[in-house]
Chains A and B, each alone.
Chain A
Amino acid sequence: MNEYITLSLILFTIGSVGVLVRRNAIVVFMCIELMLNATNLAFVSFSRQNGNLDGQVAAFFVMVVAAAEVVVGLSIIVSIYRARRSASVDEASLLKS
């Protein structure tokens, strides 16, 4: 059981490092999706450990929410790309103090 949790933690860490170091908004977003999937793995593993189905149900909810998030996120990234011809998060820097 601990192996699955460890794997989930590793995936979560890879995802969060990716968010911090990658510069393309699409890749950053994919890293966030990776973190969501790591969370799903944790939910399912804990569900088996706890012996109830709540965690598995939660995994379904997370998938639906992730799908909704993809719709919103890609629409924002695409509109940025159309305006700037670039999806780099570094070039979006008009807002500064």
Chain B
Amino acid sequence: MIATFSSATDLPPISAPDIEYSLLAPVFIIAGVAVLGVIVEAFWPRSSRFLVQAGLAVVGIVAAFADTIWVFTDLDKLDGSRLARGQVAAEGALAVDGPGVFAWGILLIFGFLSMLLFAERRLEGGLSGFTGRAADAPGSASEAEAIKHRVEHTEVFPLALFALVGMMLFATSNDLLTMFVALEVLSLPLYLLCGLARRRRLMSQEAALKYFLLGAFSSVFFLYGIALTYGYAGSFRLSDIDVAVTNRTGGENMLLAATALMAVGLLFKIGAVPFHTWTPDVYQGAPTPVTAFMAAGTKAAAFLALLRVFFVAFGGSSWDWRPIIVAVAIITMFLGAVVSISQTDVKRMLAYSSIAHAGFLLVGFVGAYAGAKDSSRITSTSSILFYLTVYGVSSIGAFAVVTLVRDSGGETTHLSKWAGLGKTSPVLAGSFALFMLSFAGIPLTGGFIGKWTVFSAAWSGGFWWLVVIGVLVSALAAYFYVRVIVLMFFTEPVGEGPTVAVPSVLTTTVLAVAVIATLGLGIIPGPLLDLAQHAGAFVR
């Protein structure tokens, strides 16, 4: 076998790959706009560059979203034991299927809302929330000069778009090599974006350093897991790995090691315990618009990749990985809920809340309920898609509120400063309260329906006891969220209290969309649930 490659003349001819451009157009649009952004960065005059970059990013995302809708309605329906739509594209590198295209849609929505937050310039007196010149040391004379000349980093828009491309590829990658490249494409711009805050720059740089070192460390584990999987199955293609795993062709130990190492990389990205320690630090230190983008987007993309790897490639060995994931789900929910109670910083508290949500999502994931042909019960994949939509929109809204509560030093994130916010600005505090209620899973909010769907999928998968634990932990977590609401509405403000900045139409739009979506998905969840259920299973 090895002798096949002994001389160059024996190699088979290389044929040109066949790329389905029309199916992959949303990804190409975002990638193209990102590259265009880099060119604009080089050639456009500085005075009007910010508006051009922001406009380009928003228009690109809207165009890609419109195309995503078209791709979704046009997906082929596959005959099989269960509903699946779509096809494997780009020579097997990508799976453009129902869940993948649904994820494109929600990622683009998160990207759109985040770009509006990125472009907000009224809060810092006409400048964006990103540092003017990242190369200057904080507090140095050159930094003061950069502020004086009103320099701005407009690269943030192309960087965020590159991250968005990575997320979209990560959610649809059908072989492990593509998945690794997508993981890095989504991570590298985010590492940089984390270090670009205008205020509290030392903390922001520290967040970038921590995120980078830990992120690179975890992605190497993911990569070694890929290497071992390749050694076991002889291929990177998820469907080939599935065949090898189902037939148990190789050594059991190697498969277990490969599964564990890949799980480390993916669980790090979704922020599950015990790989969660980066989450609070990075969420707190990063510029708030970036935190919003990261919280919603990375989690959605990484969950899709996790589902795809474990349902498609390692589906045949689910008895090996399920017990571990069950344990991870329980401690993630519990730790996220308990530790958020002791937090005094709003951004850290939202970070722990995001950890707890990763736990609830994992409950839906271990259920691994794939559905039956004529059953209308919601599958694990569909329930997670719905939950990710609700969670992402609410958390972007919550972080948008954080950008508006300020004092002289920028955002004031200490919880004690938020006391009495409900009296000074009832609308803002009311919308934050709504997001808190949605996180807690109170009925008539999207969070309730989301929790109900993941628990129902886990129940269908036979994990009723895990659902009981999940409901108990939700009750525990609700205590904390309600405490924040009490603090905002029924506590007297301490001293001066925070000032609430008047945002431009951009942040107002984000808040309005988040409030409407959170309420709307709670009161009439039907259409989106149908859409998620309609997405069907992963194609192989």
Contact = CB atoms under 8 A, between A and B. Distances in A.
Q: Are A and B physically bound partners?
A: yes
Interface of A: 5, 12, 15-16, 19, 25, 28-29, 32, 35-36, 38-39, 42-43, 45-55, 57-58, 61-62, 65, 68-69, 72-73, 75-77, 79-80, 82-84, 89, 92-95, 97
B284 interface: yes
Given A89-B209, A97-B342, A84 B134 contact: no
B180 interface: yes
Nearest to A94: B203
Contacts of B526: none
Contacts of A57: 177
Given A29-B216, A32-B213, A95-B203, A76 B230 contact: no
Interface string B338-350: 0100110100100
Contacts of A54: 177, 230, 235-236
A94 to B, nearest CB: 5
A73 B212 contact: yes
B181 A65 contact: yes
A77 B209 contact: yes
28 contacts: A12-B224, A15-B220, A25-B213, A28-B213, A35-B217, A38-B224, A43-B230, A53-B5, A54-B230, A54-B235, A58-B226, A58-B230, A61-B180, A65-B181, A65-B184, A69-B216, A72-B188, A72-B191, A72-B192, A73-B213, A76-B191, A77-B209, A79-B134, A83-B201, A84-B202, A92-B206, A97-B339, A97-B345
A34 B226 CA distance: 17
B220 A36 contact: yes
B469 interface: no
Interface residues of B, number: 49
A53 B184 CA distance: 22
A32 B220 contact: yes
B205 A79 contact: yes
B207 A95 contact: yes
B207 A65 contact: no
Contacts of A80: 205-206, 209
A49 B138 contact: no
B206 A72 contact: no
A84 B348 CA distance: 24
Contacts of A45: 231
Given A80-B209, A83-B138, A42 B216 contact: no
Given A93-B206, A94-B206, A95-B210, 7 more contacts: A32-B216, A32-B217, A43-B230, A45-B231, A46-B231, A55-B227, A97-B342
B184 A79 contact: no
A92 B192 contact: no
Contacts of B191: 72-73, 76
A51 B2 contact: yes
A36 to B, nearest CB: 6
Interface string B186-227: 001001100100000111011111101100110010011011
B291 to A, nearest CB: 13
A39 B223 contact: yes
Interface majority SS (helix, strand, loop, mixed), chain A: helix
Interface string B67-106: 0000000000000000000000000000000000000000
CB-based closest 5 A-B pairs: A51-B1, A46-B231, A50-B234, A42-B227, A95-B281
A39 B220 contact: yes
Contacts of A43: 227, 230
Interface of B: 1-2, 4-5, 134-135, 137-138, 177, 180-181, 184, 188, 191-192, 195, 201-203, 205-210, 212-213, 216-217, 220, 223-224, 226-228, 230-231, 234-236, 280-281, 284-285, 339, 342-343, 345, 348
B209 A58 contact: no
B230 A36 contact: no
Contacts of A82: 135, 137
A67 B345 CA distance: 37
A73 B216 CA distance: 9
Contacts of A73: 191, 212-213, 216
A75 B189 CA distance: 12
Contacts of B226: 58
B216 A68 contact: no
B294 to A, nearest CB: 15
A83 B234 CA distance: 47
Contacts of B202: 83-84, 94
Contact of A50 (B195, B224, B228, B231): B231
Contacts of B134: 79
B438 to A, nearest CB: 24
Contacts of B231: 5, 42, 45-46, 49-50
A74 to B, nearest CB: 10
Contact of A76 (B184, B195, B201, B281): B195
B333 to A, nearest CB: 19
A28 B212 CA distance: 11
Contacts of A38: 224
Contacts of B177: 54, 57-58, 61
A38 B261 CA distance: 14
B480 to A, nearest CB: 14
Contact of B227 (A39, A65, A79): A39
A8 to B, nearest CB: 8
B1 to A, nearest CB: 4
A49 B233 CA distance: 11
